[in-house]
Structures are given as structure tokens and as C-alpha cells.
Amino acid sequence: MSAGPAGRLYGIGVGPGDPELMTLKAARLIGAADVVAYHAGRGKDSNARRIAAGLIPAGAVEEVLEYPVTTGLTDHPGGYAGAIADFYDRAAHRLAGHLAAGRDVVLLAEGDPLFYGSFMYMHDKLAGRFVTEIVPGIPAFAAATAAAATPLVRQTDVLTVLPGTLPEPELARRLADTDGAIIMKLGRNFPAVRRALEAAGRLEGAVYVERASTDAEVHHPVRDVDPESVPYFSLIVVPGDSQQVDPFGRRPSPLGESSVRDPAPEGKLHVVGLGPGPDQWLTAEAQRVLAEVDHVVGYAPYVDRVPQRAGLTRHCSGNTVEVDRARLALDLARSGERVAVVSGGDAGVFGMAAAVFEAAEDPLYARIDVRVAPGVSAVQAVAARAGAPIGADFAVMSLSDRLKPWDVIARRLDAIAAADLVLAVYNPASRSRTRQVADARDVLLRHRAPDTPVVVGRDVGRDEESLTVTTLAELDCDAVDMKCLLIVGASGTRVTESGRVWSPRFVRS
């Protein structure tokens, strides 16, 4: 005798709190369910069940999926993550039993099932085995903006949804980089969230909303909220500012005064090298400049490394618009703004300094004083990790042919190899440049021995750092990408028994 058909799993969004904000489809499916499941905190009622209570059939089986912990405190050997993982496994097993027996299961989700909801974990575990349908619900932030009557985003505003559990500097940076924002998961994180809003210049106009669409709904300006009274399930609405931003992207001053100074007859523009990555490799001069400017301009990953603070406006752009980026910075400086252009490593080594001087050749910027603050270069960082491979004469080249043709690169590689110089190679490969490392190796092998030492540094200074010492003949060209910097030794470069690489200061004729 064959088993009957399996039941169907429904993920039902019940909305933010008011039962009247549920969809008709959600109400119909709840009313016809064999099993109604919902998550709840230990010893607490389920908000999702409270919202749907009037629709649950009298004969339905109710499955309470009670979290074993709601904070990071647990005696589980796997810690909080282990305890929650085990809980989701057990919960999925319980629901799978009903589904396998042919019973339809409605799993209630506060707000929307796929928006920071626990339903997603059940979906991950069960959707591959049982037919699953998801019914969207009104998310809490939609109810919150309606409750506070606060327009969120308009025109070309960008909306960012942020968890308040993010590290404070990261939260401030993201708030500064967006137009409108929703910050969720407040609770004990609220003091840090408030500081992040202030650092990003977004505190004014930000609205705190608690229990939106319920009888207990409250909303206040964030600056008026008592930090001790904030529950976890509250949120902050940060309105978009498309109507308040000037052409340079400046937001109004928190004090209501204009942030634009009278145009000066001349200006100053700083170009700052941030070093390869670690904060401890940022120079004191660079820190001072970044603490004094009002605008930071650069490639987005580099701008992201600048801590957000009150009054700082960030201007991020892509990786191939260096001169346009430089012109924006020069325009800001010409209008009297205090501006820094940032580069990774040293700004003068394949960085933004040259692009700024190129753009500054325009007579329009003739009176802009460009100051360059040096940074630790990638070649210095990789060399230091390896030992002292650039302890003698060395050359530095980029393999990128975006600004120079490959035949020029090949001629220069040939000349460097013939001159027996240690060679540091920037930009060795990319998604579109996959053959150049191998081609460069072939050029170098015309003059270098196959056992010439080669250092491959990847993400040096970051958590993913790796350092490989190999030889020119054994170099794995396919493993090299834009995150790497190569140092190819000269004829005298040596490798110690411990794997340290160094080049003698003396050269015999």
C-alpha cells in the first residue's frame, strides 16, 4: 500500500502587527490549515500567532517552535550558533513529520517571510523535499514609515536596510553612503546606532518607531528616545534626501547652516595613500588629513576604509574613472571645500596622484595646491613579509594594458630582465587579462634562470593574507589575480632555509 501525497508547506507573512494588514490569501490559507506553526522566544508569546489568532481553525494542530536561546549566552558546546543550528534541525524535523503524513503546514512569519525571518531557515531545509509556497506580507518598515508619515525614498534615492547589530563604524559608513535607510534590530544596540547616525550626519530627521500598526505603536525623533526603553523589534526610519542634496552630494549641516563656503581664490587638494590595508599601516600624516577634510573622494573600496564621522561626505566611484574622479575632487577644492582623494597603498605608485595632476593641467584648476601624503606601498608590504627581496636595485611595473599597449610592456620587461633588476609586478591579471602573467614570465625567462625566486603576495595585511615563494619556472600563472603582487628576484636574490627571500646589496661585475 503506497503512502498518500505529502502536504504542502506555506510560508505566510502576517504583516507587522495589525491583523487587517494581512493579505486575503494569507487569511484564506491560515483558515484552511491542518497545522499552524510559529516561532516564539523562550517563555514568550508569539507575535505572529497573536496577529493571526482570529483565523486559526479550532481543529488545527499548533506547533510552537520555541527558540532555546535569544542571546549569545548558552552552554551548548557549539555556542549560540550551534544551539540555533540544532534548533532549526529539530524544528524542520517536526514540520517534516506533518508534511510527510499529508498535512498542510502553515508557518507564520511576522512581517514578510523572506525579510529577516526565521521561515527562511525552514525553507532552506524543507523546500527541496516538499512543495512550498510563500505568501508575502507587509514588512515592519513599511508600517513604520506609514505610522510616522515619513516619506522614505523618492526619485533616484537609494534605500538601504541595515541591521543595528553591525559594528558602529561600518553602520556609520553605510548610513553616510546611502540616501534613505531603515535600521532594524535595535534593542541594546540602540546607543551605538544613535552614535552612528550622528557620525554620518543623519540624526536629524531620523524617526524611531516601535510596534508599528499595533495599539502600542509609538514614534519619536531618534534624539528623544530613552536608550533603556528600546526593544529589539523596533526600527529607525532615515528619510531619503534627494530634495536636500546639492550637486556635490553635500547634506545640510545638522545645525541648519550651509556647508558650502564662499568660493576661495585658490584651494587645496590632498591626495592620500591609505596603505595596503591594516589601520596600523596608515601614516600619522594621512590620519591628520582625513580628520580635517569634509569630503573624501575615491574608488569605493578605498573610501570604505575611511571611518565615518559627523560632517564627512563620501564620494565613491568605480575603478576606471580616475580622471573624472580627480575632476570632481578639484571642483570641490575650487569651491572652497576641504577635500582628500584616497588611494590604496601609496597614491603615487599606480594610484590617484598622477590622475589628479593630469586633471589639474586644465587651466581651470591652475591655482589648486595639490598635496600628496605618502602611504605604505603594496611592494613594500609584500617585500617586508618575504624578507628583503628589494634590498638592492629594483624596478616596478604594472602589467595592465588599459593605459599602455602590451608591446610597450613587453619591451620594458625585456629591458628590466636584461639589466638584472629585481622586479615588482602590480596588476598582474584580471578577469579580462588572463594570459599576461604567463607572457611576462616567458619574456623574463629569456634573461633569468628558471630557478629565479618569485614571491607571490596576496591580500597582504588583510585577514586573507597569503605569501608564496616559488620560482620563475614553477610559477602557477593561473593562480595569480588582481589581489596579488609579484616580486621576481634578480640573479643574486637568495632564499634562506627558512624560506625568507633577500637580495644582496652588493653586485659583482
> Alpha-carbon distance 234 to 225, whole Å?
12
The string of pLDDT tens digits covering residues 247-265 is 444 444 433 333 444 444 4
Of the candidate ranges 72-76, 153-157, 188-192, 221-225, the one whose mean pLDDT is the lowest: 72-76
Taking the C-alpha atoms of 17, 20, 21 and 25 in order, what is their torsion angle to the nearest 10 degrees? 120
Q: Measure the CA angle with vertex 489, ends 487 and 492; round to 5°.
A: 155
Instruction: Quote the cell numbers at residue 176.
Output: 553616510
Percent of the chain past pLDDT 70, that is, above it, reads 93
Alpha carbon 456 to chain centroid, angstroms: 26
Written as nine digits, the cell of 413 is 620587461
Place of cell 594594458: 401
Longest dimension (CA), the chain: 97
Ordered structural domains, the chain, with CATH: 9-137 (3.40.1010.10), 142-238 (3.30.950.10), 267-373 (3.40.1010.10), 379-502 (3.30.950.10)
* CA–CA distance, 359 with 366 (Å, rounded to integer): 10
- Rounded CA gap, 368 and 357, in Å? 10
Q: Which residue in this structure is represented by grid cell 527562511?
A: 120
Query: Which range, of 189-193, 263-267, 344-348, 359-363, averages the lowest pLDDT?
Result: 263-267
90 contact partners, CB below 8 Å, separation of at least 6: none
Q: In what order do the strands lie in the sheet with 494-495?
A: 387-388, 501-502, 494-495
Query: Exposed e or buried b for every residue in 487-501, given b needs 16+ CB within 10 A?
Result: bbbbeebebeeeeeb
179-188, 317-326, 485-494: range with lowest mean pLDDT? 317-326
pLDDT at 259: 40
What does the pLDDT look like over 26-83, one tens digit per residue?
999 999 999 999 999 888 899 999 999 999 999 999 999 999 876 656 778 888 888 8
Which grid coordinates belong to 497?
Answer: 632555509
**Which residue has 613587453 as its cell numbers?**
410
Q: What pLDDT sits at residue 101?
A: 96
- Fill in the amino acid letter for 170: E
Name the least confident of 1-5, 18-22, 103-107. 1-5
Contacts of residue 260, Cβ cutoff 8 Å, sequence gap at least 6:
246, 250, 335, 336, 337
Are 392 and 505 spatial neighbours (Cβ–Cβ below 8 Å)? Answer: yes
Mean residue pLDDT across the chain: 90
